[in-house]
Amino acid sequence: MKTAIVTGAARGIGAATAQRLAADGFAVAVVDLDQAASDHVAEGISRAGGQARGFSADVSDAASVDAAVDLIAETLGAPQVLVNNAGVLRDNLLFKMSDSDWDTVVSVHLRGSFLMTRAAQQHMVKAGWGRIVNLSSTSALGNRGQANYSAAKAGLQGFTKTLAVELGPLGITANAVAPGFIQTDMTRTTAERMGLTFDQLIEHQVALIPAKRAGVPEDIAAAVSFFARDESSFVNGQVLYVAGGPHG
Ligand code: NAD
């Protein structure tokens, strides 16, 4: 059984991805900031017949990342799939964006994905097989109030393509999934910040989406599952927009 790490997996897209990869036959390391929250998701997977364990790590902290990846390799198995999903928002118009709004978002998404990938790739290289999936976003194409987030999500696309070039010869693929509007706690917080109810934000978004519905975490988990498959070995360095239409 191969081991998969999913970061930010205590809720939302990460939790659905952890559940999906477990159903696909991976032993899943559920990684999030809070141990109890990670354990909760891992226990749910175990109850459903899958194999999973919870781990705590701050993906933006090198020591925390290295310790967690070592512990995962020792207790669950050497990781061969890595899903860089952990994320935060600090939305603000540029003129109101603080240094810490910028640094926090870039640290978690970009530095976090870098640190996790650097720690996990050695195990994939040793096995001669690996899958890295990074969570980008339609915001990579530009989104009002998200200079920090859109820069990080566009940066992740460049990061993904470079990983594909460097690691491709070693049996490792790197791809990105770029979700559109997905119903999670993250978008619920966005509604609050905009002074809207969640239902109002959903209605507004659905009007813009050709598929005429909001996305759910399972929509993204299915795309990650595709990239993680053995048969996807010739799909490398791609960005798949999963947004109910050609763009957000
Ligand atoms: P969410 O806020 O519901 O969950 C994010 C998880 O990441 C949380 O459990 C949080 O604790 C964890 N996390 C935050 N900082 C962390 C850190 N430093 N170390 C470890 N874990 C950390 O978000 P979501 O909506 O499920 O989004 C998941 C990913 O998908 C994010 O990268 C997000 O940017 C991306 N995304 C989401 C949407 C959407 O509409 N929801 C759209 C495009 C992209």
Sorted by where each begins, the domain ranges of the chain are: 3-180+218-241, 181-214
Instruction: For ligand 1, atom 2, name the residue with the nearest CA.
Output: 186
- Residue 31 alpha carbon to ligand 1 centre in Å: 12
Report how far apart, in Å, the C-alpha atoms of 200 and of each of 156, 231, 247 are: 30, 41, 21
- The angle subtended at Cα 184 by Cα 242 and Cα 215, nearest 5°, is 30
Q: Tokens standing for 201?
A: 């934000």
Q: Say if residues 87 and 109 touch (Cβ distance below 8 Å).
A: yes
CA distance 85 to 167: 20
Helix and strand tally (H, E) in the chain? Answer: 9, 7
Instruction: For ligand 1, atom 41, name the residue with the nearest CA.
Output: 182
SS3 135: strand
SS3 239: strand
Catalytic member of 26, 55, 114, 149? 149
Instruction: Identify the H or E element spanning 4.
Output: strand 3-7
C-alpha neighbours within 13 Å on the C-beta side of residue 153: 26
203 pairs with which residues across the strands?
none
Report how far apart, in Å, the C-alpha atoms of 42 and of each of 54, 66, 100 are: 5, 21, 32
State the DSSP string of 165-206.
HHHGGGTEEEEEEEE-SB-SHHHHHHHHHHT--HHHHHHHHH
Instruction: For ligand 1, atom 6, name the residue with the nearest CA.
Output: 8
Per-residue pLDDT of the chain (248 residues; tens, 9 = 90+): 999 999 999 999 999 999 999 999 999 999 999 999 999 999 999 999 999 999 999 999 999 999 999 999 999 999 999 999 999 999 999 999 999 999 999 999 999 999 999 999 999 999 999 999 999 999 999 999 999 999 999 999 999 999 999 999 999 999 999 999 999 999 999 999 999 999 999 999 999 999 999 999 999 999 999 999 999 999 999 999 999 999 75
Can 149 be counted among the known catalytic residues? yes
Please state which architecture CATH assigns to domain 3-180+218-241. 3-Layer(aba) Sandwich (3.40)
Q: Ligand 1: which of 186, 213, 216, 241 to mutate, judged by most atoms within 8 Å of the beta carbon?
A: 186
pLDDT for position 248: 54
pLDDT for position 247: 74
Q: Ligand 1: which of 55, 65, 85, 160 to mutate, judged by most atoms within 8 Å of the beta carbon?
A: 85
Ligand 1, CB within 6 Å, residue ranges: 7-8, 10-14, 32-33, 57-60, 85-88, 108, 112, 135, 137, 179, 181-182, 184-187
pLDDT for position 44: 98
CA distance 25 to 6: 14
CA distance 58 to 30: 13
Question: Is the pTM of the predicted complex or chain greater than 0.95?
Answer: yes
Query: Closest Cα partner for 76 from 109, 46, 37?
Result: 46
CA distance 130 to 124: 5
Residues in the chain, overall count: 248
